[in-house]
Structure 1
Amino acid sequence: MESIYQAKHRLIQCPTLTISLFLTVILLIMLILGPIIVAHDPFQIDMTNRLQSASMSHILGTDQLGRDLFSRILYGGRLTVGLGLFAIFLALLIGVPIGLVSGYIGGKLDAFFMRIVDGIIVFPDFILAIAIAGILGPSLTNIVIAMVLVKWIVYARVVRGLVMAEKEKEFILAAKISNSSTGKIIRRHLWPQIIPDVIAMAAIDVGKVILIISTLSYIGVGAQPPIPEWGALLNDGRGYFQVHASLMIYPGLAIMATVLCFNLLGDGVKEYMDTRKRGES
């Protein structure tokens, strides 16, 4: 087992992970506590204060209905990031076990799952998500369903490849010789070997999913008014861009910063795991 000292030392050697963890924690704290702390109701309409510029009472100004833009961005961020994390969690819950079992057992079971994966993965993620969300109808629930259906196949395929590379190694062969069950080999030997790659991939995918969710809401097949999801905020401000550009700029900056944060986190995890492997070799 790696000691706490060794883990800290490797963490110091990976500035990308340290910085990205700090930024991610700050982001999550803001999204969790922000809507509770801010004084303005994100749904409260006040036509007397519509399209106001930034001020002491409204930090980022107000939208076309007089609603506080800062509180709507914080509330919408909780939805957007929360949906992204939840969609990735469900995709992992489906794709990883299928990839583990398919890659280790092989045979007809592997052929069955991989033909399904091959039939779906030929379509780009975004196009497939639009098609699924369009068929199911515009709602946040259907966006999550669409993202899970799109993403689980990616994890199943990647995990299968990792398992097929690992299962021929000596420690797996030794476990087979010692009559360890299939479940025990997968749980105690294969899963610990592939989890770092899965975590790194999932961290990067959170940013991708957030971007797709926002895009779906922007084109009208995701969150519906008055829900202040980031993509929906962009869509709401589109008609006022020339007279009040901040209605699109601030939600766009929020999406960009969040996606960048999770991409850095994924790169940091990969860097940390590479440093750990070099230290163990």
Structure 2
Amino acid sequence: MRERDHTERIPNMSISTMTVQTLTGPSVLLKELIQKYRAECQDPDDIVFVDATTLQTTMYSGSGSSLLYLGDALAVKYPTLEIQSTEWFDCFEGVSLAHWKGGRRIYLCEMTEIVSCEVPGGLNWPIPDNRIRFWHDVPDLPLAIQHVFPRYDLMSLMDCPTLAGRWRALHNSYDNVLFRLPSDPEQKDGIFVQMTPQTGRVAIVRGIDRYGCCASEQLVAYADVTARWPELRPLLRTYWRTGKTQRRRNRRWWQLQRKKASRHKNGRSAFLTEKAMGEDEVQEIPF
């Protein structure tokens, strides 16, 4: 049963956060909680009964995060509830996750994605949604991934075909990724090389565990990667050549901006505003 249609209250453009709580517990308690929301004028923006024992609420806020405030208050007052909270911030790709059970918080962490890649076409890899994701490692994140994505485990790819040196080739719309699994499910020695041919950006990401949590990211030169892993040289060369034309355009654009900046005598900023450059000199960035 749906308590309210989400179109009744449409959030405006000033909203900075969206907090979704999934409450699991006795149906009588969930109905009492809804009545209390309304009596105290704390009615969420959207209320949905997923089933008889699961209630999902959505709240929008223009004044910052409400995830901890809402979750801690409910967990203390209703310890029989199991609470899963997810919060999104405007203009940020990361998401906050928290879980309460038995009146105490189990985990709280930020899930910030480094890169997400599709499984190569024509291959049937045992991974949910056919996407491989990597996140910045923070405390409690592996626990959160196991809870939110129970079937997500990179070690399930162990028996899938590989390139030389146990590497696997992945890609998305912008990046080419060469990934190597951890040597053991308990180790954090996985690694991937990320290349963006259009901009010439190359990064080495280390310390990857079975859940895709990455410990460190380092920008390097193209030659550093080929010197360290010679077996990758043919594939990286192919990737590098595909972005040759775009990289040339990018270099010309930056050279033009530096020349225009040098004409201004004040020298207070290397980045020119549209007003300083003049209407006829404004150009769009070519990438």
TM over 0.5: no
Which of 1 and 2 has greater Rg? 2
Q: Which has the higher helix share?
A: 1
Q: Which has the higher strand share?
A: 2
Q: Tell me: higher relative CO, structure 1 or 2? Use CA pairs within 8 A at least 6 residues apart.
A: 1
Superposition TM-score, scaled by structure 1 size: 0.22
Superposition TM-score, scaled by structure 2 size: 0.22
